[in-house]
Every structure is written in structure tokens, then in C-alpha cells.
Amino acid sequence: CLLPVALGSGAPCRWGSRFNVPPSAEFVARPVGVCSMLRLPVQASAEGLDAAFVGVPLDTGTSNRPGARFGPRQIRAESVMVRRYNGSTGAAPFDSLLVADVGDVNVNLYNLPDSCRLIREAYRKIVAPGCVPLTLGGDHTITYPILQAVAEKHGPVGLVHVDAHTDTGDRALGEKIYHGTPFRRCVDEGLLDCSRVVQIGIRGSSYAPDPYKYCRDQGFRVVLAEDCWLRSLAPLMGDVRQQMGDRPVYISFDIDGLDPAYAPGTGTPEIAGLTPGQALEIIRGCKGLNIVGGDLVEVAPMYDVSGNTALLGANLLFEMLCVLPRVKTM
């Protein structure tokens, strides 16, 4: 028989059964069904949803190795390993929120500014009814038009940005839009509350003797990777929560923030990065914040035949879902 992707696990929901529930592998084989994020139902719009997974398969803003256009598809494929409850934090997102996969933005691979327009228009429709978008990237260019739409609804947002790079360049090869410039463009347009921006995991060589001057001049908090080595980041996130307050916050997580030993499947890897455990500390440390969106970008699957980079991405997106407002704990 054919098993629909929306088929539930058969286990009772602690708070009722009116939500979409990922099927359990105890009852439905993992390879069965349409390839959707966490094997959730796929629907055409965000109407009626509390949160939505969205794919943006774009990599024409990439400066080194291409391939992030295939990130959303591979993250969805690896997400079959993610289960219903967060056993570490007790979060029960699927008993708390109505969540679905709303598919991909139909980007224009031959025109980056037009892709930004298409992304911005798509996200306006997603956030309009109050849905929180969680995005599968795609290169980091996509965060710029997403934040255009998010800031239209919520005003300038705070930003928790995990990355090897600040992505605040002004231009490259004469172009002002590519994956090294999204947050500079966001500053230009007043999309960020610069007093509530933290960038974590920054590292690598640079073209300038003081590569973080622009960020610090804007009021960003820049946390270098070497300041994270061999440390728990829980104390840092305590400070970040105080800094962010109760106003809207967006999480943008570039997978190259992690050390390439853990996440080699990306276009611009830098040595000596964060560990997966630290990544969990950062996202779990956002619990209680007024999170209005998040993304996981720069997964380029062909550079990691094991699938581990995409698996990490899928788990980090699940962790973002678990810290959204109104998610109950067991």
C-alpha cells in the first residue's frame, strides 16, 4: 500500500493530536514517502502554520566551491534520522506548533538580483500570517532578501549569526550582492538592530589587517573562534540572551561555522572552527528569545559523500524549531 508522508506514528500526543507529526520509523520505514523536511506534510502555502521549513536552492552568490543549490534536497534526505522529541531539552515541537514543509522558492539561477526579488516576495507571503520560517539554504546571499521580508513585518531584528566569516564585505568583482555581503546590505537598509547583533565562530585569513573593524564600528559583538576553543558557550549565550531582550531575533547559521572536520560539505571551509556540541549550546541558548526566523546555509553535499554535513544541518534546524516561542517541554 502507499503510505502518505503525513502518516503519524500511532503514539499519542501529550497535548492532543491536532498537529502534524513526523512518522515514527517504528511504524513507517524511513525511505518511504515524499522527501520532505523531517518527513512532515508538504503544503503549498504557510497559511495556518506556526512554523514552516522552506528551501532556497541558490548558490549563484558563491565565491568558491558551488553546490549549495543542492543543500535543501540533501538536508531533507538526511532529516529522516531526526525524531519527534528532543530528549536532551525535553522540547516537544510537534505537540506544540503546527509545522509543515512548504517546498522551495523558485529562484532564478541566471540572475542573482532577480532571485533576491523572488525570495523576498515568497517570504513576505510566509511571514504575513505570522508563520516563522526556518530555511534550508542555499548560499548565504539568501539571508539578505529573507531579512528584507522579516524586517518589513517585525522591524529591525536582532541577529545571532554563526559563521566562519562576518559576511559584511561591500563588493567583489564589482558586485554588491553575493554571499560575502548580506549583512552589509542589511545594515545599509536598516534591517538589523545593530546593538543586538552577535557573530560567533569568526576566523580565517583576511584581505585587510583589521577585518572586523566594520562590524565593531556598527556595534556588532564579534566572538572569534579562538575565544571559543575548549570552552562551553553556555555562559556566552547567557550574555547574548540579555543583549537580545524580548524584541525580535533572527538566527542565521552558516554550516562553515563548524570545523570542516565535522562539516566538510561546504564551499568556503576554514580550519579550527566550532564543534557540533558548541553549535547545540548556541541554538539551545536562544531558548526564551523572541525568534521570528532562522536559516541554515552553505551545505554543499557533493564535498561530503558521507552525508554528515547535511545531517548536521538537519539536526541544527530541528534544534531551531525546538527553541521557537510557544514550544512546550515534556
Count CB atoms within 10 A of the CB of residue 173.
6
**And the C-alpha cell for 112?**
542573482
**And the C-alpha cell for 188?**
545599509
163 assigned ligand-binding residue: yes
304 assigned ligand-binding residue: no
295 assigned ligand-binding residue: no
104 assigned ligand-binding residue: no
22: Cα separation from own chain's centroid: 20
Count CB atoms within 10 A of the CB of residue 31.
9
The answer to whether residues 102 and 56 touch, using CB atoms and an 8 Å cutoff, is: no
| Bridge partners, 296 (sequence order) | 136, 253
Count Cα neighbours of 58 within 13 Å in the Cβ-side half-sphere: 32
3-state secondary structure of 49: coil
161 assigned ligand-binding residue: no
The answer to whether residues 197 and 214 touch, using CB atoms and an 8 Å cutoff, is: no
Q: Sign of dihedral through CA atoms 203, 262, 183, 206? A: positive
Distance CA 17, CA 315 (A): 24
Is residue 102 exposed (0-12), middle (13-18) or buried (19+ Cβ within 10 Å)?
Answer: buried
What is the spatial order of strands in the sheet that 221-224 belongs to?
A: 99-104, 51-56, 132-137, 290-297, 248-254, 157-162, 192-202, 221-224
| Dihedral, CA of residue 99, residue 266, residue 270 and residue 120, to nearest 10 | -50
Tell me how many degrees the CA angle 313-314-319 measures, rounded to the nearest 5.
Answer: 95
50 assigned ligand-binding residue: no
CA-nearest of 297, 302, 296 to 264 is: 302
Secondary structure (DSSP) of 87-105: TTT-B-GGGTS-EEEEEE-
- Binding site: residue ranges? 140, 163, 165, 167, 254, 256
- Binding site for Mn(2+): residue ranges? 140, 163, 165, 167, 254, 256
